[in-house]
Amino acid sequence: MLAPPANADLQPVVAEGDIRLSPPSLPVADPFAAAPDSGAWPVRWTKNRLLKNGDQIHLGPGARLEWRSGNGERHILRGPASALITGESLALESGRYWRGSRPEPGLELRWLPSPPARGRITRLQAALRGAEGQVSLQTLPERSTSVLHFDGIRGGQRLHSAMIALARTDWRRELRLEVRIATPQGTLTEILAFPVSAATETPLDTRGIFGRRAGIALLWHWRAAPSFFPYQGQVLRPEQCVAWKETQETGKQFPAWTQGGTSQGIWLPPDKQALLADQAGIQRENAIHWQATSWDTPEILWTGPFIIPAWHRYSSPFSESRTFVGLGTGVHLGIDIASFYGTAVAAPNSGIVRFAGKTTLCGNNIIIDHGRRVFTKIMHLDSLFVTSGQRVERGQPVGMTGTSGLSTGPHIHWEMLVGGVRVDPEEWVALREGGLQ
């Protein structure tokens, strides 16, 4: 709710463009569908008519409405916009609204590389000219708030940005975001609303992230894309590992994560099934996860593309449907990389370790904060080389592969989160300078 004119009856001092009125009880799909002189709601606003409490006001593209409150503050509403006049307040539904003692600052909002879609990562950048202040972002109607952090000054504009990701299963048909800039001279608010559609050719497709398999008959094995080969040299290789463990597997085999799978799904041995019964441990694990991934570090701590933390073969793709015998079906929201016991695991990129320890289902795991609400989570490790609060660099050893937690074979489960949404890690490996960074 935003403060409107001081009195209930509003007399604009500037009214430009197509401005229409409708009663608040009348739902309006398109306020500009009817001809302005048809007499049907919404009706065109005229200079002789005051705007009263309860009026629903609609501004067409390029329209502007300006008035002054009793304390001399300037109020400017720019179209396309919709708002409800409610006596001592103004409910802004869409558009841009400035309330302040100074002239309205310039604001340009950009989506890099494109507006959000289900299964895509994007960046919202606000370019502000003529003012300095804190820029915040709210998702409506949930009112969850994040900050657009300062990126510097370029071309006389102050740049702020935030990373945004929509899950592949996002239920919304429309995304509504409120960008608010609080300055010493006033507040500038803009509400963005646009339909949410599925991304085309998205790596978060239900059939998997890579879209390419190699194998014979039903013996499928996931393999890395050729475009990622240049990064193999930056990843710790199997021959570099230490503290090998004796296993029943020979050096010629990579044990699959889905070891023991049947046509009915993945079979879990009794000791692993017992982990799912530890409800107190699972609740503690969830609390640790959300606390560690709630940091909003303003700096960008990563540099360039992310690297694959361990290198043998992918054994389970992102967003794969997975069935456990007797336990039901779920969605796999990370990448599994099967490996030998004791293979060194590297940090995918620079950051700060927010958690390093053992939990019920994740086993020995670490959560790395890369800044701007971008996090890496690596699970099922045998041992850890880092501690909470430690700064790590890209390629630095952080642990050894194992099968701790809810795991049926030596591997790592690699997750990445953007603003609390789990996203495809390989999309970050494919980044180049000038991309989402």
Domains of the chain: residue spans and CATH: 14-195 (2.60.40.10), 213-429 (2.70.70.10)
Radius of gyration of the chain (CA): 27
For the ranges 120-124, 178-182, 339-343, the maximum mean pLDDT occurs at 178-182
Which neighbouring-strand residues pair with 159? 127, 152
Q: What is the pLDDT of residues 76-116, one digit of tens each?
A: 999 899 988 876 567 888 999 998 888 899 999 999 888 88
Closest Cα partner for 337 from 186, 222, 175?
Answer: 222
pLDDT of residue 329: 63
d(CA 293, CA 360): 18
Query: What percent of the chain has a predicted confidence (pLDDT) above 70?
Result: 71
Tens-digit pLDDT profile for residues 167-200: 776 777 788 899 999 999 899 999 988 887 766 5
More confident residue, 158 or 208: 158
The whole-number pLDDT of residue 374 equals 92
Task: Please give the angle made by the CA atoms of 379, 246 and 346, to the nearest 5 degrees.
Answer: 35
Average pLDDT along the chain? 75
Greatest mean pLDDT among 1-5, 121-125, 179-183, 200-204 lies in: 179-183
- Residue with the bigger pLDDT between 120 and 291: it is 291
More confident residue, 252 or 406: 406
How are beta strands 391-392 and 397-401 bridged, if at all?
A: unpaired
**Residue 386: count of CB within 10 angstroms of its CB:** 17
Determine the pLDDT at residue 327: 60
What's the rounded Cα separation, in Å, for the pair 251 and 340? 8
pLDDT band at 15 (very low <50, low <70, confident <90, very high): confident
Q: What is the pLDDT of residue 398?
A: 95
Quote the CA–CA distance of 343 and 243 in Å, as a whole number. 9
Q: SS3 of 358, please?
A: strand
383: CB partners within 8 A, 6+ apart: 243, 364, 399, 400, 402
The long-range contacts involving 319-325, CB below 8 angstroms and separated by at least 24 positions, are 319/168, 319/204, 319/205, 319/206, 319/208, 319/209, 319/424, 320/208, 321/206, 322/265, 322/266, 323/264, 323/265, 323/266, 324/265, 324/266, 324/267, 324/268, 325/262, 325/264, 325/265, 325/266, 325/267, 325/268
CB distance 296 to 239 below 8 Å = no
For residues 413 and 406, give the distance between their C-alpha atoms in angstroms, rounded to a whole number: 10
114 vs 33 pLDDT, higher one: 114
**pLDDT at site 115:** 84
Q: What is the DSSP code (8-state) at residue 284?
A: H
Band of residue 32 on the pLDDT scale cut at 50, 70, 90: confident
143 vs 14, more confident: 14
Residue 285: its pLDDT value, please?
92
**Beta strand extents in 347-386 (DSSP E only):** 351-359, 363-369, 374-384
Q: Residue 204: its pLDDT value, please?
A: 35
Please state the rounded mean pLDDT for residues 229-236.
26
Q: CB-based contacts of 414: which residues, under 8 Å, 6+ apart?
A: 309, 334, 335, 336, 337, 348, 376, 377, 378, 379, 425
